Structure 1
Amino acid sequence: MSILGRSVSAKPAKRSGAAEVAAFIADGETENSLRMLVQEQVMTFTVIRRGSVRDAISYLGTAAPPRVLIVDVSSSRLPLADIDELANACEPGVIVIVIGQQNDIGLFRDLMHLGISDYLVKPVTTELLRRSISVALGGQSGGAVRQRTGKIIAVTGARGGVGTSTVMTNVGWLLANKIGRKVALVDLDLQCGSISLMLGLKKQAGMMEALKNAHRIDNVFLDRTLVHHGERLSVLSAEEPLGDDTRYEPQSLDKVIRDLEQRFHYVMFDVPRRPDPIYQHLLSQAQIRVVVANPTVASVRDVMRIMKMAGRDDIGQRLVLVLSHTVPPSQADISRRDFEKAVGRRADHEIPFTRHAMFADNAGKLLAQRRCPATDQLMRITDDLMGKRVVQRSLIARLLRR
């Protein structure tokens, strides 16, 4: 018998040894409903265990990612935080179904915003599970299937020369080489970008042409244009002549985002500080907007303008403010306290001045590969982008429950 009415030629699991469906359920009634469905549909390649989001995360750390992951948040005091933590452990492309007890439209919308495919409220019947899994696996028409995709991060500077590209390149390298995530760095300074230069890579031709002709962007284009730095870090960049017209439509960038987020855990854009539609469009699309500033009055003014344009933080979208010291301290600098008071919020991170950064590019060695206080701060930024702060709040909540 075919699984949920699908033919046996349906798309196989992503990797050899991967379960088609893996479920972590908190109660016996829901577990029995799922086991009845598995037996009825002869679903031989499934994993069903008692557990929570934490157990699902542990499973993903040792097993090949399933096509469909079902998690139970009934016992979670912070379900959104737990699902956000799960998202950082999930491979892009995994379809996530969440089961819970709260019949709350606000929670449903927030979970969908985080990229889940469906939210089922208990009691969950066999028929309800059948429909949800069938849609997830493409067995029935239910609209577009929502898959877990990579996180989009836009990095921009309040002013030029504040270290925006340095921060992005080093954090991307740390995500790939210290955390083990698949990372794509996209340099949108199409004429004078420095990310490939920092990594010692040659730029491939074709990015500008594709951005002006969005229909040409596909997996073949990405395979040809992406330049790889090791196994997990890839770069998309260009070096167009200074006299060329490098304008393109925001819709072309959307196509790049959609294709890259299906392949990478993190897609980071180095966004040049220009008041054009591309700049505003990308800041509105990114889940995380990283703004890098130096401790000057001019930076204070421009940070406030960027924050006003970006809008307030929301579920699945937030702004991270980084105070960067790229030159030795001078009398023109203002204190961190005065900076924060002026912009009306705290800086999330502060990178101290280090002479290593001045020579890192020429030496062919990234700042993240050195040992210094600035590297420690870059690692903290990396943890923050992964949601480690959310993890800490979630951990505290679990301890309070005991």
Structure 2
Amino acid sequence: MESGESGDQLIQQLESLAEQCSSETSVMLIGPNNDIGLYKQLLTLGVTDYFSDDTSSDQLIVSIEQTFSDVDPAEQARVMAFIGSRGGVGSSVVAANTAYCLAHGFEEKVTLVDLDLAFGTSALELNLDAKQTVSDALDQPDRLDDSLIERFMAPYDEYLSVLTAPAGLVQKQNMNIESIETLLKLVRAISNFVVLDLPHLWQPWVQELLLQADETIVTSYPDLAGIRNTKNIFDFLDEGRGVDAPTRLIFNQIGACKKTELSRKDCQGAVDHTPLLSIPYDPVIFGTAMNNGELMVETNNKHRTTQKFKTLSEKISGRTIVGKRQRKKSILSSILAR
């Protein structure tokens, strides 16, 4: 429905409508106000979705399709969005290694989507020579389907696939959120987890993905610039995501420059968030992995740093990685118990 009212008048209209509808009716509302507070209030009242009247028709169509789709949201792939509080904090490294841990820890399909079109490093980190990139896919959203999207994806191994960023500079940074949502809808249908490696940009499409993701992970470094930016990002995301979908904080490269690093206590006081975990700085394992065209978790899966990535993948998935020996033993035990 569409309404030009706001405040109490709008609520009264909805109450009148509710008297004429069953409890299973989905209500999508278009109104004049672009207000996050109103949006939250309407969702609390049972409105399925709310749009301001300047919303594009494409975005409305996508939302309607999602609302009335036969696909159970619980069966769709979980989306994890990674972003750095500033350049050089290692968000892409954290995203790629976490994607690998999700894929091999649970032996399920994971797709890493590198959306840093200008400077994405996923192809370098994984030593991939992709013929087509995520930029090519986003250039033709109307043509995308299940079979075509798989042609754009570069398989790394049995479980992990990557939509790589272009190798050269790409001018297009103001991407269309509707095109990205179309892409992700197809990727989610063929994956168990989708990991988004987002660029260090504060564009509307980046903000929207951070708000929509099932898990949003901000990687930071404990210095003045990192903490200032982290606080600003969390202030934005805390309001938009709410308490039911908290944003995760990761401190990376701890110990890289001890003289300028802020203490854990100072960081928590400034940001008002407790980090999910802190990853120590180790240039040796990072350099070895980069030179070999492999991930840190592959270079040494017993290293204290790589263990952090396994812990992170468990935290954001809500599941526990079981070792292969233990997994095989449990399967055998279940057979013998029959």
- Give the TM-score of the pair, scaled to structure 2: 0.69
CA distance in 2, matches of 1:261, 1:315: 24
Counterpart CA distance in 2 for 1:316 and 1:375 is 29
List alignment gaps of at least 5 residues for structure 1: 1-105, 114-141, 390-402
Indicate conservation of the 8 Å contact 2:127/2:294, yes or no. Answer: no
**What residue in structure 1 maps to residue 273 of structure 2?**
345
Cα offset for 1:143? 4.4
Shift in CA distance, 247/240, structure 1 to aligned 2, threshold 3 Å: farther
Q: Secondary structure at the match of 1:289?
A: strand
- 1:151 and 1:306 map into 2 onto residues whose CA distance is 22
Report the Cα distance in structure 2 between the residues aligned to 1:329 and 1:373, rounded to whole angstroms: 19
C-alpha deviation, 1:243, in angstroms: 5.9
Q: Which residue of 1 aligns with 2:174?
A: 247
Structure 1 residue aligned with 2:314: 383
Range 322-331 or range 178-187, more displaced: 322-331
Match of residue 374 from structure 1: 305
Q: Which runs of 5+ in 2 are unaligned?
A: 1-42, 50-66, 321-338
How is 1:111-190 mapped onto 2 (pairs within 5 angstroms)?
143-147=68-72, 148-190=75-117
How far 1:377 sits from its partner (Å)? 1.1
Distance 2:168 2:104 in 1: 33
8 Å contact kept, 2:117–2:170: no
1:3-402 equivalences in 2 (<5 Å): 143-147=68-72, 148-205=75-132, 207-239=134-166, 241-242=168-169, 244-312=171-239, 314=242, 317-325=245-253, 328-354=256-282, 355-369=284-298, 370=300, 371-388=302-319
Q: 1:203: how far off?
A: 2.2
Cα offsets for 1:66-111 (capped at 9, x unmatched): xxxxxxxxxxxxxxxxxxxxxxxxxxxxxxxxxxxxxxxx99x8xx
Cα drift, residue 363 of structure 1: 2.2
Question: What code does the residue aligned with 2:152 have?
Answer: T
Deviation at 1:263, TM superposition (A): 1.1
Match of 2:60 in 1: none
Which is richer in helix?
Answer: 2
| Contact kept? 1:162, 1:326, Cα under 8 Å | no
Aligned to 2:18: none
One-letter amino acid of the counterpart of residue 381, structure 1: L
* Alpha carbons 1:176, 1:232 under 8 Å: kept: yes
Give identity over the alignment, percent.
Answer: 26
Divergent runs of 4+, >6 A: none
Which range is displaced more, 162-171 or 320-329? 320-329
CA distance in 2, matches of 1:256, 1:326: 35
Deviation per residue, 1:166-206 (Å, 9 max, x gap): 10111111111122121000000112211121111112325
Query: Structure 2 CA distance, aligned partners of 1:375 and 1:241?
Result: 30
Higher relative contact order (CA 8 A, sep 6+): 2
Q: CA deviation at 1:209?
A: 3.6
Q: 1:339 to 1:178 in 2, by over 3 A?
A: same
Structure whose alpha-carbon radius of gyration is higher: 1
**What code does the residue aligned with 2:192 have?**
H
On the 8 A contact 1:152/1:267 being kept in 2, the answer is yes
Distance 1:348 1:183, change over 3 A: same
Q: State the distance in 1 between where 2:244 and 2:264 align.
A: 28
Asked if the contact 1:211/1:253 (under 8 Å) is kept, the reply is yes
Task: Quote the Cα distance in structure 2 between the aligned partners of 1:242 and 1:276.
Answer: 18
Question: Structure 1 193/245 Cα, relative in aligned 2: closer, same or farther at 3 Å?
Answer: same
Rounded Cα–Cα distance in structure 1 between residues aligned with 2:251 and 2:201: 20
Letter aligned with residue 316 of structure 2: L
Q: For residue 379 of structure 1, what is the amino acid of its counterpart? A: K
Q: Structure 1 residues 146, 191: closer, same or farther in 2, change over 3 A?
A: same
Answer yes or no: is the 8 Å Cα contact 2:133–2:166 preserved in 1: no
**What SS class does the counterpart of residue 202 from structure 1 fall into?**
coil
Structure 1 pair 233–227 and aligned structure 2 pair: CA distance change class (3 A): same
In structure 2, how many angstroms separate the alpha carbons of the residues matched to 1:165 and 1:157?
8
Q: What is the TM-score of this pair, normalised by structure 1?
A: 0.59
> Residue 87 of structure 2 aligns to a residue in which SS?
coil
Cα distance between partner residues in 2 of 1:335 and 1:204: 45
The separation in 2 between residues aligned to 1:232 and 1:372, in whole angstroms, is 22
Tell me the alpha carbon deviations over residues 43-75 of structure 1, each in whole angstroms, 9 at most, x when there is no partner.
Answer: xxxxxxxxxxxxxxxxxxxxxxxxxxxxxxxxx
How big is the shift at 1:160? 0.8
